[in-house]
């Protein structure tokens, strides 16, 4: 029989670093990290205009069974984000407003789940944000063992306990905690650079000129003509 664990201790990143990454947002963090860390697009925001950033508390569940989510609540701290996976694909509604109420009491910021959620209207009303692979009213049982705070794979991405999770309308990105500071610095530089570009574009400069793309277009054989040539 495979071993199952609830690991109590997690090494978390500096809160200031996590906050800086949250301010930068998913797209900028992904680019600043070298275009790594994105969860697949199956994981979607189930509310609009919400950004969270925190430390991952990971959960591995049997499909259709949310026992280990309940077990995970005890080891969560304020500022954490619960990341839930199943050992085989599942779209069952493994999480709803009662679990959200329990997590809110612990200061958990939100949920990322590679499975389904339900009670979506209630979750939105209570302001508990979720990113999920499905919305499905199908209920679950509490019967099968799993693990808390072990490495898991969510939407094709390895997530370790304590990883920095940033989630917004664009999706979810995950970084190893030790990489957080360097990525936050790179993200800040990227934001400053983009602000300058935004001002230039707003003044009317074209992207092909701003980025020096005309020689590339020429080298690729792209021609500018007033009309298509007769064939």
Domain of 83, CATH number, reads: 3.50.30.40
Q: Residue 91 in contact with residue 138, Cβ under 8 Å?
A: yes
Residue 45: what pLDDT?
Answer: 98
The 10s digit of each residue's pLDDT in 220-230 is: 999 999 999 88
Binding residues: 96-99, 118-119
Residue 222 located in a structural domain: no
| Structural domain boundaries, residue 92 | 15-185
Strand 130-135, strand 110-117: pairing: parallel
Q: List beta partners, residue 131.
A: 45, 112
Residue 74 located in a structural domain: yes
- In the chain, helix, strand, coil percent, each to 5? 35, 25, 45
Residue 174 located in a structural domain: yes
Residue 31 located in a structural domain: yes
Residue 2: what pLDDT?
Answer: 66
Residue 230: what pLDDT?
Answer: 82
CA–CA gap between residue 15 and residue 32 (Å, rounded): 19
Residue 212: what pLDDT?
Answer: 96
Residue 213 located in a structural domain: no
**Mean pLDDT of all residues belonging to the chain:** 97
Q: Residue 62 in contact with residue 89, Cβ under 8 Å?
A: no
In the chain, which residues have pLDDT < 50?
none
Binding residues for Mg(2+): 119
How many domains are there within the chain? Answer: 1
CA 98 centroid distance within chain: 22
Residue 226 located in a structural domain: no
Residue 167 located in a structural domain: yes
The full DSSP string for 97-143 is HHHHHHHHHTT--EEEEEEEE--HHHHHHHT--EEEEEE-----BS-
Contacts of 193 (CB under 8 A, 6+ apart): none
The pTM for the full model equals 0.93
Binding residues for substrate: 96-99, 118
Residue 59 located in a structural domain: yes
């Amino acid at each position: 029989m495979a071993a199952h664990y609830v690991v109590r201790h997690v090494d978390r990143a500096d809160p200031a670093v996590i906050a800086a990454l949250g301010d930068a947002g998913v797209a900028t963090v992904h680019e600043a990290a070298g275009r790594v860390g994105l969860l697949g697009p199956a994981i979607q925001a189930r509310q609009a205009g919400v950004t969270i950033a925190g430390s991952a508390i990971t959960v591995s569940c049997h499909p259709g069974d949310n026992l280990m989510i309940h077990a995970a609540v005890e080891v969560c701290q304020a500022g954490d984000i619960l990341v839930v996976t199943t050992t085989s694909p599942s779209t069952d509604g493994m999480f709803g407003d009662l679990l959200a109420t329990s997590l809110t009491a612990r200061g958990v910021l939100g949920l990322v789940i590679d499975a389904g959620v339900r009670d979506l209207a209630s979750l939105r009303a209570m302001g508990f944000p979720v990113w999920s692979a499905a919305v499905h009213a199908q209920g679950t049982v509490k019967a099968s063992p799993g693990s808390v705070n072990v490495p898991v794979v969510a939407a094709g991405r390895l997530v370790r306990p304590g990883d920095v999770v940033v989630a917004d309308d664009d999706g979810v990105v995950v970084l190893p905690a030790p990489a957080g500071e360097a990525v936050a610095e790179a993200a800040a530089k990227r934001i400053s650079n983009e602000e300058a570009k935004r001002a230039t574009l707003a003044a009317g400069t074209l992207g092909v000129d701003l980025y020096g793309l005309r020689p590339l277009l020429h080298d690729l054989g792209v021609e500018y003509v007033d009309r298509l040539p007769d064939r």
